[in-house]
Amino acid sequence: MRIAIGCMRISSLTKPEIDKLIKTAMGCGINYFDHADIYGGDGKCEELFGEVYDGKREDIIIQTKCGIRKGFFDFSKEHILTAVDASLKRLKTDYIDTLLLHRPDTLMEPSEIAEAFDYLCASGKVRKFGVSNMNPTQIEFLQRNLGNHKIIANQLQLSVMFTGMVGAGLNVNMKIESSVNRDGGILEYCRMNGITIQAWSPFQYGYFEGVFLDNPKFPEVNKVIGRIAAEKNVANTAIATAWILRHPAKMEVILGTTNPGRVTDISKALDVELSRKEWYEIYLAAGNELP
């Protein structure tokens, strides 16, 4: 499944609303739910999800994250193991499909992380492992110490209006803002190493500054996306999602919406194939440059 429901905001919903969100997503073929132990504060979102979901465990994919604590990051073995046990209890499950390390911890000791992963895998508590917001060197440093535990995913911010990892690769050897490589070539690194990029905030134009769709600040990109959406008879959210899914890196999209209707609209992106011309037209309409 290439679209996941991000559960960061479900603590603002009632239990019946959460139930409707889950069932709507699954009715659209989306059975992938992304959590973190900090979402909702002290795991509230995980707890609510565990209380509401009443289907078969094998019918859904649960991903959660750990490592962010109040005022610091913590990838110590002790914290990882404690955090996973707490998430399992809140989610009312025996295992987590994928555990991500949430934001880089500069004090991380890869040998400790490896020991934690060894235990979690052997005990059946976690099946796969990934990271969030890491650059190639950080992933390489970590992976070299993880033995057989392959990092399978890297969650990174990406949208039509947040394209740094794309722009740096398109504007090599140019003296323009979009040529600045801030991520160490993370897009190409993940492709070379079979690491799935999970795009978060797919409709944001900055770091939680707001959405760009239907925003009068961005008339050109909305005009182009709106025209293509009308041509393909889908919502503009589906086109913005399809733009990410069109990339040959085979990315996944983490949705932040809690609106079942929007989930239904966005799910149509799975049936949309943008042409190369359409993809670049949207990219340029967002204010990006090509050399």
Separation CA 193–CA 198 (nearest Å): 15
Confidence of residue 1 (pLDDT cuts 50, 70, 90): confident
pLDDT of 209 over the 90 cut: no
Residue 250, amino acid? K
Residue 148, amino acid? N
Average pLDDT over residues 92-115: 97
Residues involved in catalysis? 39
Average pLDDT over residues 78-88: 98
Range of 60's domain? 3-157
For residue 279, tell me if it sits in a domain.
Answer: no
Confidence of residue 135 (pLDDT cuts 50, 70, 90): very high
* 95: phi then psi, degrees, rounded to nearest 5: -150, 155
Percent of the chain topping pLDDT 70: 100
Residue 173 CA from chain centroid, whole number: 30
Which residues make Cβ contacts (< 8 Å) with residue 170, sequence separation at least 6? 178, 290, 291
Separation CA 256–CA 203 (nearest Å): 9
Separation CA 188–CA 144 (nearest Å): 19
Q: How many CA atoms lie within 13 A of 117 on its CB side?
A: 26
What single-letter DSSP state applies at residue 277? H
Average pLDDT over residues 189-210: 94
Say what the pLDDT of residue 132 is: 98
Residue range 26-51, pLDDT digits in tens: 999 999 999 999 999 989 999 999 99
Residue range 151-186, pLDDT digits in tens: 999 999 999 999 999 999 999 999 888 899 999 999
Average pLDDT over residues 75-96: 98
Strands (E), the chain: 3-6, 32-34, 61-66, 68-69, 72-73, 96-102, 126-132, 151-157, 196-200, 252-255
Average pLDDT over residues 131-143: 97
Separation CA 282–CA 229 (nearest Å): 12
Quote the mean pLDDT of the chain. 97
Pairing of the two strands 196-200 and 32-34: unpaired
Say what the pLDDT of residue 275 is: 98
For residue 39, tell me if it sits in a domain.
Answer: yes
For residue 124, tell me if it sits in a domain.
Answer: yes
For residue 73, tell me if it sits in a domain.
Answer: yes
For residue 289, tell me if it sits in a domain.
Answer: no
3-state DSSP call for residue 22? helix
Average pLDDT over residues 242-250: 98
Q: Contact at 8 Å (CB) between 9 and 35?
A: no
For residue 133, tell me if it sits in a domain.
Answer: yes
pLDDT of 207 over the 90 cut: no
For residue 259, tell me if it sits in a domain.
Answer: no
pLDDT of 208 over the 90 cut: no
For residue 206, tell me if it sits in a domain.
Answer: no
Say what the pLDDT of residue 145 is: 93
DSSP states of 40-95: TSTTHHHHHHHHH--S-GGGSEEEEEE-EETTEE---HHHHHHHHHHHHHHHT-S-
Average pLDDT over residues 8-27: 98
Average pLDDT over residues 218-225: 98
Say what the pLDDT of residue 61 is: 98
Q: How many domains, the chain? A: 1
Output the domain CATH number for residue 43: 3.20.20.100
